[in-house]
Chain A
Amino acid sequence: MNKFLFSCTLSLLASFSLPAQTDTVKVKMVDEQEAEKYYNIGIDHLTAKRTAEAMNAFNKAIELKPEFEKAYFNRGLTYLDMSSYKQAIDDFTKAIDLNPKADNYFFSRAQAKSQNAQKDLASEDYSKAIELNPKNAEACYYRGVLKFEKENYSGALSDYSMAIEAKPDYAYAYNDRGSAKMMLNDLAGAIADYGQAIQRNPGLAFVYNNMGSAKKKAKDLKGALEAYTTAVTMKNDYYIAFNNRGIIKYETGDYTGAMEDFNKVLQLKSDYAFAYNNRSAVKYKQRDYKGSADDCSKAIQLNSVYGFAYMNRGIAEEMLRDEKGKCADMKKATELGVDQAKDYLSDCK
């Protein structure tokens, strides 16, 4: 999954740099335009991911022509590629100073600020970009993402809608709007949006996973199972979807299937605490109380503040007649904020 999303992100970034390339067409290639020459060389290097060479070229261009706004902008993009966010922000700021009307300058600075842990400032820049160009679908989308991350789901929803309006084939925006709707408990709306995302781009396994989760919430366990199965079929190392499918199988009483899925997750990602925790529930149902408690212990080993795993271990220990262990675990779970465990403490001395 990681790799998959990373490549998506890259292709997006590449598409954001397109305006710069388009601009080069307009530049007159005459000999006296030394700065522009370096600038164009820089673009070639940048496109070919030769960041050091690109950097040199843009430096030369700016040296020759200190008011060259596009050179600042493209050097900013080069810094962004090098993960030098502070320098990127400085260059984008310079470009904005020289031309405060370019929405893509604000957009790119927002991207850099977002990477530089300045999400509030990033949001302001996205807003500025949208103000300058309400049809900037990416700016709308990314502002929506920031709102989503701040749990402002209705705000995110309206930004995603703006993005979709500006760019009707925007699969990502449909996916994210679906997620915002799911968070707002509009499950039918979420399912519809995930469906739209799939229609626009049928190759996104994570959309199927999210669809599964929306259907699970809507109590359509059969539909959820199908969606998760599609996700893992498309992407056979998609451990998150295997974990989700395991839960559905558990909830529908298919303990053998659930066990297989959780085992598969651990084969793909042996440090995935959730899978140990969830497998413990299956083992409990299969009356393997010792195995259940052991799985919880492994989850706790991987995440020492995993409150639910403490509670679950306590439940297994009850059946192992380890009253002391149970009470200690319920207490720990309560301390870690698992309210449910508090009720179970009433059995303890």
Chain B
Amino acid sequence: MKKKYPFILFFVLSALAHSQTNVEFEKEFFKDKKDGLREAKSNIKKGDEMYVYGMTDWQPAFDLFIKTNQYVPSLNDIYGRGSGQFAAALPYYLLANEFNPNNAVLNERIGFCMIWTPDGKAKALPYFEKAYKLNPNITPEIQYYLGRCYHLNMEWDKAITAYKASLTILNAKTSENKAKIEDVDKKIAECILGKEMVNNPERVFIDNLGAVVNSKYPDYGPLITADEKVMIITSRRENTTGGKVDDSGSGEYWEDLYISNYVNDAWSTPVNMGPPINTEGHDATAGLSADGQILYIYRSGKKNGGDLYESHLTGDVWSKPEHMNKNINSAYHESTVSLSYDGKTLYFVSDRPGGIGCKDIYLSHLDAKGKWGPAENIGPPINTKYSEEGVFIHPDGKTMYFSSQGHKTMGGYDIFKSTLVDGKWTEPVNLGYPINGPDDDVFFVISGSEKHGYFASKKSDGVGEKDIYKITFLGPKKPFAMNSEDNLLASVTAPIKERVVAPPVAIKTAALTILKGVITDALTGKPLEASIDLIDNQRNEVIATFLSNSASGKYLVSLPAGKNYGIAVKADKYLFHSENFDIPNTSSFQEVTKDVQLSNLTVGTKIVLRNIFFDFDKSSLRPESTNELERLTKLLTDVPTLKIEISGHTDNKGAADYNQRLSESRAKSVVDYLISKGIAADRLQFKGYGLTQPMAGNETDEGRQLNRRTEFKVLSK
């Protein structure tokens, strides 16, 4: 793609073209249509003006990109430079083409302008084909663009042939040609892979979310909570803030964020999130925490190349989006963000210098002061010398979805998946066709269950422009079992059935438990804002702290498989509540709803301590109990007047007197611990109730487990 000098080139080529069927815009060919010719020429002139304007934007960006990055950019890499002008040139060119459809140069130009438009891939092809037919030497790059169009239309073999033919003009060993040869070789490889992937499609359903969610305007950038109950999208529909079209010449409304809730098995109409989330400029989705309480917003800056903002939901109110610190935002372009399940690591995309490729994925850790620390490039095998985009870290804490141009793609950006194993990311795997196609597939999010993915696409059968789509993953093929029988025994007429031993099919589900529910005041039933500590009991560490929403009381915590978790729910002036979840590595996806009622510190209130563990048949405390005991100590320190009774309870297994003695000595162990931590002995009583105060029936394992417990009761405050 050497620099184009459109006017000169146009006329020179016109003069040189002597193909039999090529018809120039000259009087001799249109003797009876002088007016029409004049108008067509005028349209060509107007089109050329826009085209040149586009070229002055596109060409330098293109050249600079190659020079800087040593590879040929995609439209996405140069942010659609020139595409608005190319699109504007099209109507004029098309009018001229209507007058004379047999001009090679004009056909080539229409193809070129069309290829950059979002839905131009299918439309551009016939123009390039025609141009080539009229004059095979119309431009040096005609084979390359034919290849591009065939590629985007999934005509793999034709694409490969055209790409190979395009290599013949690239033999000069300039660095630019080196980049172009690499580009063509890469695209040939993409076609080979694309053909293979299309022949072995993934088992998915892809559904448009419908006219309730989607509008006739562009809707894209979906974000979802892990439980798929809240969705936030970017939309350019007519009621965006300010109600004006942007200044880029696209004629589209400014971007705003919209929110939709999944209620009664359906998504509600997206509502403009309003101020302070939306402003009069571009406000777009960038990331959402798994519980939907933290929202990341992308705003295109005046001089900072596009930056990220963070907003928190308190009750029904989103806080004013705060510009993220300089470790995250640079003078360059930052786009998508994804927060780890524990809220301590932020993954984001930036094209800042010093990366491996143009756009790379970076991470930042939350420091002791609660600030995002220095950005680290996450390196290979995730980042490549090409661009990565649309990072999404799954709440299982070990699976990353992202888009890349650099890994084995079938064209443009494809969506990939990588897993964290022993602290290292595995070689990314292409999600396959039809999730990925020959065009850019980017900005994809997936549910906690990993059964549904959401993305935006512009398809002809959609509601209009870009729409939000949902992918349902059906998993590996489910083979049919066929049955047969044989007359195996010559003397026995009854045939013998063949034993069907079908190979087991591994159904992989996300190794994740989502714990969610509503936290309320036990007496009034009012929603409470409480903090939820997630504790790794084995390591006695607080993994993360979450807040329930003050207006709804709702909370959502992600528990990746493989740990014994303590959950401590705390609110001021309330007795804390604890839960224990032992989730083995082998467990698959589950969603657990646990509504928690917190009790005010009223005399007589009883609280069960679920994270106090004893050795089997003994009263010695196990180390996993430390966190709960420390919390209890803190409560007694915080409320110095509080007097409590610690009681032990058993199930009905074993003799009553034995159970009474065991429960009493266990209660005493807890009291002894508290005394050893400096709590005055006269504030503490211990009792062993044995099996006399069951919470549940003793008939089932679950019931018996509920009955084996340590409890404390408020004696006075």
Docked-complex contact B205 and A171, CB < 8 angstroms: no
Docked-complex contact B490 and A176, CB < 8 angstroms: yes
- Contact of B483 (CB < 8 Å), options: A183, A213, A274, A340: A274
Nearest CB in chain B to that of A172: its residue: B490
Alpha-carbon distance between A243 and B490 when the two chains are bound, in angstroms: 19
Alpha-carbon distance between A5 and B491 when the two chains are bound, in angstroms: 7
The answer to the question of B502 belonging to the interface, with a C-beta cut-off of 8 Å to chain A, is yes
Docked-complex contact A278 and B482, CB < 8 angstroms: yes
Docked-complex contact A343 and B488, CB < 8 angstroms: no
Contacts of B505 on A, CB cut-off 8 Å?
340, 343-344
Docked-complex contact A172 and B491, CB < 8 angstroms: yes
The answer to the question of B489 belonging to the interface, with a C-beta cut-off of 8 Å to chain A, is yes
1/0 contact string of A81-108 vs chain B (CB within 8 Å): 0000000000000000000000000000
The answer to the question of B506 belonging to the interface, with a C-beta cut-off of 8 Å to chain A, is yes
Docked-complex contact A318 and B478, CB < 8 angstroms: yes
The answer to the question of A315 belonging to the interface, with a C-beta cut-off of 8 Å to chain B, is yes
Docked-complex contact B489 and A281, CB < 8 angstroms: no
Docked-complex contact A204 and B490, CB < 8 angstroms: yes
Nearest CB in chain B to that of A318: its residue: B474
- Contact of B487 (CB < 8 Å), options: A12, A210, A308, A343: A210
Chain A nearest CB from B471 CB (Å) reads 14
Which has the most chain A C-beta neighbours within 10 Å: B483, B487, B493, B504?
B487
**A8-B491, A148-B489, A343-B506 are known contacts. Are A321 and B205 too (CB-CB below 8 A)?**
yes
- Contact of A247 (CB < 8 Å), options: B482, B488, B495, B509: B482
- Contact of B489 (CB < 8 Å), options: A2, A145, A339: A145
Contacts of A240 on B, CB cut-off 8 Å?
484-487, 495
Alpha-carbon distance between A308 and B484 when the two chains are bound, in angstroms: 12
The answer to the question of B8 belonging to the interface, with a C-beta cut-off of 8 Å to chain A, is no
Nearest CB in chain B to that of A296: its residue: B480
**A308-B500, A343-B506, A347-B475 are known contacts. Are A5 and B487 too (CB-CB below 8 A)?**
yes
Contacts of B506 on A, CB cut-off 8 Å?
343
The answer to the question of B451 belonging to the interface, with a C-beta cut-off of 8 Å to chain A, is yes
The answer to the question of A277 belonging to the interface, with a C-beta cut-off of 8 Å to chain B, is yes
Alpha-carbon distance between A176 and B488 when the two chains are bound, in angstroms: 6
Nearest CB in chain B to that of A292: its residue: B480
The answer to the question of B481 belonging to the interface, with a C-beta cut-off of 8 Å to chain A, is yes
The answer to the question of A175 belonging to the interface, with a C-beta cut-off of 8 Å to chain B, is yes
**A176-B488, A340-B505 are known contacts. Are A213 and B498 too (CB-CB below 8 A)?**
yes
Chain B nearest CB from A11 CB (Å) reads 11
The answer to the question of B592 belonging to the interface, with a C-beta cut-off of 8 Å to chain A, is no
The answer to the question of B507 belonging to the interface, with a C-beta cut-off of 8 Å to chain A, is yes
1/0 contact string of B407-426 vs chain A (CB within 8 Å): 00000000000000000000
Docked-complex contact A340 and B490, CB < 8 angstroms: no
**A8-B490, A176-B489 are known contacts. Are A340 and B507 too (CB-CB below 8 A)?**
no
Which has the most chain A C-beta neighbours within 10 Å: B495, B505, B588?
B495
Alpha-carbon distance between A278 and B482 when the two chains are bound, in angstroms: 5
Docked-complex contact A182 and B488, CB < 8 angstroms: yes
Chain B nearest CB from A150 CB (Å) reads 12
Docked-complex contact B481 and A209, CB < 8 angstroms: no
- Contact of B480 (CB < 8 Å), options: A1, A149, A274, A284: A284
Contacts of B588 on A, CB cut-off 8 Å?
346
Nearest CB in chain B to that of A238: its residue: B487
- Contact of B484 (CB < 8 Å), options: A183, A204, A207, A244: A244
Chain B nearest CB from A111 CB (Å) reads 11
Chain B nearest CB from A222 CB (Å) reads 18
- Contact of A346 (CB < 8 Å), options: B486, B491, B492, B507: B507
Docked-complex contact A210 and B484, CB < 8 angstroms: no
Alpha-carbon distance between A176 and B485 when the two chains are bound, in angstroms: 15
The answer to the question of A206 belonging to the interface, with a C-beta cut-off of 8 Å to chain B, is yes
The answer to the question of A54 belonging to the interface, with a C-beta cut-off of 8 Å to chain B, is no
The answer to the question of A232 belonging to the interface, with a C-beta cut-off of 8 Å to chain B, is no
The answer to the question of A142 belonging to the interface, with a C-beta cut-off of 8 Å to chain B, is yes
8 A Cβ contacts from A181-224 to B: 182-183, 197, 204, 206-207, 209-210, 213
Docked-complex contact B481 and A311, CB < 8 angstroms: yes
Contacts of A312 on B, CB cut-off 8 Å?
480-481
Contacts of B502 on A, CB cut-off 8 Å?
340
The answer to the question of A9 belonging to the interface, with a C-beta cut-off of 8 Å to chain B, is yes
Chain A nearest CB from B508 CB (Å) reads 9
Docked-complex contact A340 and B481, CB < 8 angstroms: yes
Chain B nearest CB from A242 CB (Å) reads 11
The answer to the question of A280 belonging to the interface, with a C-beta cut-off of 8 Å to chain B, is yes
- Contact of B490 (CB < 8 Å), options: A6, A182, A206: A206
**A2-B493, A8-B491, A308-B500 are known contacts. Are A346 and B509 too (CB-CB below 8 A)?**
yes
Contacts of B205 on A, CB cut-off 8 Å?
321
Chain B nearest CB from A117 CB (Å) reads 14
Alpha-carbon distance between A149 and B485 when the two chains are bound, in angstroms: 15
Nearest CB in chain A to that of B509: its residue: A346
Docked-complex contact B484 and A213, CB < 8 angstroms: yes
Contacts of A197 on B, CB cut-off 8 Å?
490
Chain B nearest CB from A72 CB (Å) reads 25
Alpha-carbon distance between A96 and B480 when the two chains are bound, in angstroms: 55
Chain B nearest CB from A225 CB (Å) reads 14
Docked-complex contact B486 and A347, CB < 8 angstroms: no
Contacts of A12 on B, CB cut-off 8 Å?
491
8 A Cβ contacts from B538-565 to A: none
A-B contacts, 11 of them at CB < 8 A, read A5-B493, A9-B493, A172-B491, A179-B486, A210-B488, A240-B487, A274-B485, A277-B483, A311-B481, A343-B506, A346-B509
Which 5 A-B pairs give the minimum distances between C-beta atoms? A281-B480, A172-B490, A179-B488, A206-B487, A308-B481
Seed contacts A210-B486, A280-B480; 16 additional CB < 8 Å A-B pairs:
A1-B493, A8-B491, A172-B490, A179-B486, A179-B489, A206-B486, A209-B486, A210-B487, A210-B488, A240-B486, A277-B483, A311-B481, A312-B481, A340-B502, A343-B505, A346-B507
